[in-house]
Amino acid sequence: MTSSKPPFYITTAISYPNGTPHIGHAYEYIASDAMARFKRLDGHETYFLTGTDEHGQKMQQSAEKEGISPRELATRNSAEFKRVDDEVLGISYDRFIRTTDEDHYAASTAIWRRMVEAGDIYLDKYAGWYSVRDERFFTADETEVRADGERYATETGTPVTWTEEESYFFRLSKYQQPLLDFYSANPDFGGPRTRFNEVIRFVESGLDDLSISRTTFDWGVPVPKDLTAGETSLDHVMYVWVDALTNYLTGVGFPDTESESFRKFWPADVHVIGKDISRFHCIFWPAFLMSARLELPKRVMIHGFLHNAGEKMSKSVGNVVAPSAWVQEYGLDAVRFFLLREFPFGQDGSYTHEAVLGRKNSDLANNLGNLAQRSLSMVVKNCEGMIPQPGERTAADRRILAQSDELLEISREAYDMQDFHRALERTWFVLGEANAYFAEQEPWKLKKTDLSRMNTVLYVTAEVVRKVALLAQPVMPDSATKLLDALNVETRGDAGRTNASGAGPRSFEAFHTELVPGTPLEKPTPIFPRHE
């Protein structure tokens, strides 16, 4: 594809495949997928990376419990994550990376080498608290002893164990000021602002050097002996977060920094992650990259957590929702729409059956579905099955057309901040206005009194539906495509892959080019069913 627009590189966090995906994972994939689709439709060559994070003690321990090897566990569950992406959620990723992929070992080794060359890695001894569940070290004052006599990480509530071993350290402390300078020069690096501020405050309070290798287990990327800093007789594996973060480089061809894909796509435009891993992405990751003399990502978007009716999802409570259960019950596009419309991406959100139902029935079936179905049926029935020739436009016509015209620019700005909620809210506000317009103009009465005026009203309504359908594609690829098919809108440009229906997505290139009178339409079938 040739495009004058800059390429766009987006990543999700890579999930631990010690279990199977839940609706919280699906939330992140769907949002990132909508973002990637939006950029493709808007003419950017887009690369979208997702995958699984397979090393570390958590994976090793989970495998031991099942009596299989960590590689077997990773292979089995990674396949399930990929299946859910492909078959349940319709995620349009370009590569599904596994950190056990061969090229990822090369990339992890190479970034390690660069950090050694920078003089940022040294051998010492680690003694402190480690949470296997979080794959994270805690200082003593970040932990507490609870009523059961056991020690837990205060912030995350996970059990910690005393760990004492030889370890390589990364000179994170050296990067405190460079990071703070970088944050002030790039105020949109972390989003939303409130979560980014928490990160900045943490860095301001001082940074300790970071333990980046382990010797008490072996399920990880080996630290190559010739690339170490300091003499050791022990075998070290990289701390899982060192190799995990490096996946974002592997995905675009690192260590070959001269490769076409690396030059085109690095630095990443946005890493999409959840709020529990903001420090890894906003502090460790940019520090590693500074040390390795590589460019820093442009943005880290930190989303909130999904809760089940206000309660944290957890296996012990038994309220963990599998993505396929929701998709079966409500349909994929309604699930995708609900998750992106219901709460701002940066905030936590709580879902209930009633809330999903409300969105599906009022926003989709009533607001969009009914308007499209009524107006297009009238066109087919009363305008000889063709988009009618509109007459002169009244103030009411111009007003609703102008409102819908602004939606592309508003959506662009909102998507650039991963504010899907705002883009959809505004789009559905305009749909509400279009419904009011349709009701006021009463085209079904005009049929008997003023055919030319009826044609204009139907034309204007169909045009608003077309614009809304174009912009709904990233969120509801299949339904929006069906709607654009019903409007017989041409497929133009390479706006991404074809959808399940076989029709291609319609790029935003023709957003401001109105419907052509005389275009034949077929009798429409309802696209957004009510949930009974």
Enumerate binding residues for ligand ME8 (CB under 6 A).
13-16, 24-25, 27-28, 53, 244-245, 247, 273-274, 276-277, 305-306, 313
Give the nearer residue to ligand ME8 in terms of CB position, either 272 or 462.
272
CA gap 152, 138 in Å, rounded: 10
Rounded to 5 degrees, what angle do the CA atoms 412, 413, 417 make? 110
Q: Closest CB to ligand ME8 among 143 and 247?
A: 247
CA dihedral 88, 89, 93, 98 (to 10 degrees): -60
Q: Shortest Cβ distance from residue 15 to ligand ME8 (Å)?
A: 3
53 versus 120: smaller Cβ distance to ligand ME8: 53
Identify the bridge partners of residue 49 per DSSP, sorted by sequence position: 11, 95
Least distance CB 117 / ligand ME8 (angstroms): 23
What is the pairing mode between strands 161-170 and 143-145? unpaired
Q: Which residue is nearest to ligand ME8 (CB)?
A: 274
Cβ proximity to ligand ME8: between 156 and 261 the closer is 156
Least Cβ distance, residue 17 to ligand ME8 (angstroms): 8
Minimum CB distance to ligand ME8 smaller for 275 or for 447: 275
Report residue 202 as tokens: 């943490």
- Chain centre distance of CA 521: 35
Residue 344 CB, nearest approach to ligand ME8 (Å)? 13
What is the Rg, in whole angstroms, of the alpha carbon atoms belonging to the chain? 26
Residue 210 pairs in a beta bridge with 170
Alpha carbon 15 to its chain's center: 13
Residue with tokens 């992405």: 281
Contact at 8 Å (CB) between 499 and 505?
yes
- Cβ-based nearer residue to ligand ME8, 30 or 486: 30
Q: Which is nearer to ligand ME8, 91 or 365 (CB)?
A: 91
Of 41 and 244, nearer to ligand ME8 (C-beta) is 244
CB of 158 to ligand ME8, least distance (A): 11
> Minimum distance from CB of 238 to ligand ME8 (Å)?
13
Q: Taking the complex as a whole, how short is the minimal distance between the CB of residue 27 and ligand ME8, in angstroms? A: 5
Alpha carbon 114 to chain centroid distance? 30
Of the candidates 312, 315, 364, the residue with the CA atom closest to the CA atom of residue 338: 364
Residue 349: strand pairing partners: 306
The answer for residues whose C-beta is within 8 angstroms of residue 311's C-beta and 6 or more apart is: 317, 319
Cβ at position 90, least distance to ligand ME8 in Å:
18
Kindly give the pairing relationship between strand 300-303 and strand 121-131: unpaired
